[in-house]
């Protein structure tokens, strides 16, 4: 256990060092990331004003808070995508990690975790700037802040595990982007990324509750916005844990078969 913690801390430190090699590139990346939520924010704020001040319980200040936190959650959600798996295998990175006495999953999980600290540090000034412009309505309590922090990392872990499982399809077949596209379209619709889920029809909200996407994205945002009770907030953490463990179960179940299939091409 001590060894694993040492590995995680070292790998995370390394990720931070690597990311700080290119601060400008990271800032441009973050600024690029702002475009999408600002468009949503402007559109929905306009709709709210035209509807007499709010839509689906969201005022323009609520939308401002939603999309401000959105930026952080979106970045926290970034993990090794299934698309990157192709390169991960073809360029021999996976082979190099397979030679080490630690599962490659740990290496990637730790690396992306380290990157998150850079993201948080870069998000803070952007969030302050955007707050001056859009005046968000954001006033969380202490327990909401604590649970939000846990949910933020829980969402990252859950999405990491699900996309690792999805990426493992690459062991059996290449060029499976159609499957990935379907996954990401469903995620866009049912996660709360495109629009707060409470603005969607009742049936869509029910479907979203049964799927994993919302629990990594919309749920932490709603939590810090004060849209959830303490019980709902704790339930959300439980759901995150459920999906994480389910994905991990299938990763473990299929990993050995994947290794048998692995041809170490390009390595």
Partner 1 sequence: MPTTTVHASNLEKIFKVPEREAGLRAAVKGLVVRKHREVRAVDGITFDLAQGEVVGFLGPNGAGKTTTLKMLSGLLYPTDGEATVLGFEPSKRQKEFLSQITLVMGQRNQLSWDIPALDSYELNRAVYQIPDQQFHQTLDEMVEMLGIEDIINKPVRNLSLGERMKAEIAGALLHLPKVLFLDEPTIGLDVTMQRRIRGFVAEYNRRHGATVLLTSHYMADVVALCKRVIVIHHGIILYDGQLAGLVDRFSADKTIALTLPDSSINLDGYGEVASRDSGRVMLQVPRTEVSRVTARLLADLPVIDLTIEDPPIEDVIEDVFLQGQQEQEGQGT
Residues 185, 187, 192: CA angle, nearest 5 degrees: 120
Encoded tokens for 71: 């930026």
Is 226 an interacting residue with respect to partner 1 (CB under 8 A)?
Answer: no
User: Minimum distance between the CB of residue 108 and partner 1, rounded to whole angstroms?
Assistant: 13
- Indicate which single residue of 3, 52, 53, 201 sits in contact with partner 1 (rule: CB under 8 A): 3
For partner 1, the binding residues in 96-155 under the rule CB under 8 A are 96, 98-102
User: Minimum distance between the CB of residue 254 and partner 1, rounded to whole angstroms?
Assistant: 14
User: Minimum distance between the CB of residue 6 and partner 1, rounded to whole angstroms?
Assistant: 5
Distance between CA 59 and CA 50 in Å, rounded?
11
| Closer of 40 and 255 to partner 1 (Cβ) | 255
Phi, psi of 263 (to 5 degrees): -105, 0
Is 263 an interacting residue with respect to partner 1 (CB under 8 A)?
Answer: yes
| Binding region for partner 1 (CB under 8 A) out of 80-88, 94-102, 217-225, 246-254 | 94-102
Is 24 an interacting residue with respect to partner 1 (CB under 8 A)?
Answer: no
Q: How many positions of this chain bind partner 1 (CB under 8 A)?
A: 25
Distance between CA 213 and CA 220 in Å, rounded?
12
Count of alpha carbons within 13 angstroms of residue 13, beta-carbon side: 6
User: Minimum distance between the CB of residue 255 and partner 1, rounded to whole angstroms?
Assistant: 10
Q: Where are the alpha helices (DSSP H) in the chain?
A: 2-20, 23-50, 60-76, 82-90, 93-98, 104-134, 142-167, 177-190, 202-210, 213-216, 218-224, 230-261
Distance between CA 224 and CA 197 in Å, rounded?
15
Cβ-contact 97, 107 below 8 angstroms: yes
| Binding region for partner 1 (CB under 8 A) out of 35-43, 79-87, 88-96, 112-120 | 88-96
Is 95 an interacting residue with respect to partner 1 (CB under 8 A)?
Answer: yes
Q: Fill in the DSSP letter of residue 58.
A: B
User: Minimum distance between the CB of residue 64 and partner 1, rounded to whole angstroms?
Assistant: 36
User: Minimum distance between the CB of residue 183 and partner 1, rounded to whole angstroms?
Assistant: 23
Residue entry with tokens 């990271």:
26
By the criterion CB under 8 A, which residues form the site for partner 1?
A: 3, 6-7, 9-11, 14, 17-18, 21-22, 92, 95-96, 98-102, 259-260, 262-264, 267
């Amino acid at each position: 256990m001590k060894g694993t913690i040492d590995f995680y801390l070292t790998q995370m430190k390394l990720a931070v060092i690597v990311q700080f090699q290119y601060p400008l590139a990271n800032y441009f990346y973050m600024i690029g990331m702002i475009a999408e939520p600002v468009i949503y924010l402007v559109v929905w704020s306009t709709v709210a004003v035209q509807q007499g001040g709010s839509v689906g319980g969201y005022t323009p200040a609520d939308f401002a808070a939603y999309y401000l936190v959105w930026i952080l959650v979106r970045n926290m959600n970034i993990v090794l995508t299934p698309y990157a798996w192709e390169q991960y295998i073809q360029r021999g990175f996976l082979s190099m990690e397979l030679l080490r006495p630690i599962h490659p999953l740990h290496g990637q999980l730790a690396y992306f975790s380290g990157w998150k600290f850079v993201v948080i540090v870069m998000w803070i000034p952007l969030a302050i700037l955007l707050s001056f412009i859009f005046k968000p309505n954001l006033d969380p309590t202490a327990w909401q802040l604590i649970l939000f922090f846990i949910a933020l990392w829980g969402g990252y872990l859950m999405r990491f595990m699900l996309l690792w499982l999805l990426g493992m399809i690459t062991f059996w077949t290449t060029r499976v982007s159609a499957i990935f596209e379907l996954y990401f379209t469903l995620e866009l619709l049912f996660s709360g990324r495109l629009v707060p889920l409470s603005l969607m029809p009742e049936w869509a909200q029910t479907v979203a509750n049964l799927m994993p996407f919302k629990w990594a994205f919309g749920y932490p945002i709603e939590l810090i916005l004060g849209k959830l009770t303490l019980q709902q907030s704790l339930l959300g953490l439980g759901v995150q844990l459920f999906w994480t463990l389910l994905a991990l179960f299938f990763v473990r179940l299929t990993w050995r078969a994947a290794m048998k299939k692995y041809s170490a091409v390009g390595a």
